[in-house]
Structure 1
Amino acid sequence: MKAFQITEPGASRLTELADPQPAAGEVLLRIRCVGFCGSDLNTYRGMNPLVSYPRIPGHEIAGTVAALGEGVAGWTVGQDVLVFPYTECGACSACRAGRPNCCRDNKTLGVQRDGAMAELACVPQGKLLSADGLSPTELALVEPLTVGAHAAARGQASEGEHVVVFGAGAIGLGAIAGAAYRGAVVTAVDIDDAKLALAQKCGATHAVNSAAQDLHARLQELTGGHGPALAIEAVGLPQTFVSAVEEVCFAGRVVYIGYAKEAVSYDTKLFVMKELDIRGSRNALRTDFEQVIAMLQAGGFPTAEVVSHRGPLDQAGGLLAEWAEAPQRFTKIQIEFPEG
């Protein structure tokens, strides 16, 4: 089978590997569509400390069941599925607390272990999910949207309250859609008007270009002088990390999805004065997958616009290099595989 590998920082290749065979309890998938994630971009840039090389990326996966390993039940050959790409040890403090998404020993496909940007992949049957009526494009979009949806859940976004989301990239759009799906009034913040327009199609009620408008004044105006109840940071810059704390209301909640690319300096008095809840958000739970699947099945999500670039496997390396060169041009890249 053909597979795509990131071989070292700034380098990738197509390679030929032996076709995998499903072990007992596994399902062989013929891959239909795989999305590139921000973690893959960091792997390509040499900025992902969790990765060793060479690495096959790919944890945003749509596939069709091609063969069943011994003992597999509940799945049929020809069935379209998506993949829950994380592992959990079941024994660490996170797993015991019912939060396996942040398992201490998690190994995400395409990050700590090889992913599915290949023609075939074997997956444990317990890691498959079905989503009737969704296309391969939508199936592969579920996982990245769940990362943002999980952040909205971590922040307890609720009916009628004001939520601000910093960043309208793929993960930020998931947070916007997730918070809106929970009934919140969402303000999207970015410096790109096209991304802000897309954010409004994903559920944002308001949009603020923080390079052209006074963000603080606008948020005060929208919230009656209080500030938003929840701030979700999906950019990864020190200034947006700090801005989330500054703009959120007294007794508010702040959720950070990604890592800041450099050290962040805070005036910590706001943590205490506002009595803030500051939370991290990592990966997603199965309940987040179920919510996003239901959201996509309901229709209305602008999938065709969120997936900004598509191409076959032999274009994966070029698209990844272009993304690294000009990230502002991209929202989501998906690599498509022929059917059958």
Structure 2
Amino acid sequence: MKSIIINAPGNASVGLVQDKQLQKGEVKIKLYYVGICGSDLSTYMGKNPMVKYPRIPGHEISGEIVETGEGVSKEYVGRQVTCTPYTNCGQCYSCKTGRTNACKYNETLGVQRDGAMTEFHNVPFSKLLFADGLSRKKLALVEPLSVGFHAVARGEVIDNDVVMVLGCGMIGAGAIIRSVLRGAKVIAVDIDERKLKIAKSIGATHTINAMDSDFENQILRLTNGFGPSVTIEAAGNIKTYQTAIAQVAFTGRVVFIGYAGKEIAFPTHLFVQKELDMRGSRNATRLDFEAVINYLKDNDDSEKLITKVITPDQFSSEINSWSENPGSVMKILVEF
């Protein structure tokens, strides 16, 4: 079957791989669309230390069950699904305390193990989420949006919060949407005016270009001089990490999603003087996925988050273009 393969940094192609036999408890999915994630871009650029090459990318799945393995009823054939693309060992501390999304030994599709950018892919039934009624394209948006939804849960956002989201790509979009759904006022920050325009359209109360000379003064004006009560870092670079801590209000909450890729120096007195709650946010829970599905069912215009749809044969040129201009893309879907 046809598959996209990242052979080495800067080298992607379409090849043929063998269709795997179904194991007990698995289903075979015919892929409609698979989203290209920032982690796939990092793999292509050689910046993902968790990847070994060659690697089939892809974990943002939209598909249909076409076959069931032993122990799974055939009545599920024909149902459209997405899935949680993470593994969990069940034995580490995270798993034993119910936070399986942060399993110490997690292996995400397309990262530590081959992903779903193939014509067919086998998935454990336990990892499926049924989403009848969603369009095929919306199905591929569930996983990336769920990561932002989870960050909002980690930040314990409520209706009297002012949330500043740093980075308005797909992950940041999820954080904006979920914060708005919880009744919070949202300040969206990015350096790309196109992304700020989208952030406004999905509910951000205010948008600020981080390159503005009066950036800090704008934040203070919008927060009555206090700073936001919650900052969510969704860009993964040194400046956004530092800004999240510098601009958050005293006793505020800071949530980090992105990997900065380098060690970062902080003025540590802010940790103590502000008595900050600083939290990492990794992947998403099943509840986050279900919340995104409910949101997408009620929002007909959510497909505006999709930058473009491509064929597998276009993957190499498109991801190369994205690597040269990483701020230009919200979401690219590969149609199989």
TM-score range (shorter-chain normalised) is over 0.9
Instruction: Report whether the alignment pairs 1:19 with 2:26.
Output: no
CA root-mean-square deviation:
1.2
TM-score, length-scaled by structure 1:
0.96
Per-residue CA deviation, residues 275-294 of structure 1 (Å, 9 max, x unaligned), is 00000011000110011111
Aligned partner letter, 2:263? A
- Structure 2, unaligned stretches of length 5 or more? none
Give the equivalent residue in structure 2 for 1:88: 88
- Name the CA distance, whole Å, in 2 between partners of 1:273 and 1:220: 18
Measure how far apart 1:310 and its partner are.
1.0
TM superposition shift of 1:224: 1.0
Which residue number in structure 2 is paired with residue 211 of structure 1? 211
In structure 1, the residue matched to 2:195 is: 195
Q: CA deviation at 1:168?
A: 0.7
SS at match of 2:141: helix
| Corresponding residue SS for 2:282 | coil
CA contact (8 A) 1:162 1:184 kept: yes
Structure 1 pair 180–75 and aligned structure 2 pair: CA distance change class (3 A): farther
Distance 2:166 2:175 in 1: 10
Say if 2:103 is the partner of 1:103. Answer: yes
Which residue of the partner structure matches residue 37 of structure 2? Answer: 37
Percent identity between the two aligned chains:
49
State the alpha-carbon separation in 2 of the partners of residues 27 and 318 from structure 1: 32
The question of whether the paired residues in 2 share the 8 Å contact of 1:21 and 1:28 is answered with no
1:305 offset after TM fit, Å? 2.2
**Partner Cα distance (1:39, 1:144) in 2:** 11
Give the number of equivalent residue pairs: 336
Do residues 312 (structure 1) and 306 (structure 2) align? no
Asked if the contact 1:166/1:189 (under 8 Å) is kept, the reply is yes
Map of 2:251 onto structure 1:
251
Q: How far apart are 1:23 and its partner, in Å?
A: 1.6
CA contact (8 A) 1:29 1:121 kept: yes
Q: Per the alignment, in what secondary structure is the counterpart of residue 243 of structure 2?
A: helix
Mapped contact 2:232–2:256 kept (Cα < 8 A)? yes
One-letter amino acid matched to 1:119: E
Q: Which moved more, 1:29-38 or 1:12-21?
A: 12-21
Equivalent position of 2:277 in the other structure: 277
Letter in 2 for 1:321: N
> Larger deviation: 52-61 or 254-263?
254-263
Separation in structure 1 between the aligned mates of residue 17 and residue 240 of structure 2, nearest angstrom: 43
1:247, 1:161 → 2: CA distance? 14
Shift of 1:20: 2.4
SS in 1 for 2:219: helix
Against the structure 1 CA distance between its residues 40 and 192, is the aligned structure 2 distance closer, same or farther, given a 3 Å change threshold?
same
Distance in 2 between residues matched to 1:328 and 1:59, nearest whole Å: 21
Superposed displacement of residue 210, structure 1: 1.8
Corresponding residue for residue 332 of structure 2: 333
| Aligned-pair CA distance for 1:262 | 2.0
Q: Quote the Cα distance in structure 2 between the aligned partners of 1:17 and 1:191.
A: 40
- TM-score of the superposition, structure 2-length normalised? 0.97
- Supply the AA of the counterpart residue of 1:103: C
In structure 1, distance between residues paired with 2:166 and 2:189: 5
- After superposition, the Cα gap between the structure-2 partners of 1:76 and 1:243, relative to the gap in structure 1 and judged at 3 Å, is same
Q: Distance in 2 between matches of 1:20 and 1:194?
A: 42
Q: Name the residue aligned to 2:231.
A: 231
* Aligned 8 A contact 2:79 2:132 in 1: no
Give the CA deviation at 1:41: 0.5
Moved more, 289-298 or 204-213: 204-213
Residues of 2 paired with 1:334 and 1:121: CA distance?
Answer: 17
The aligned residue for residue 46 of structure 1 is 46
- The code of the aligned residue for 2:43 comes to T
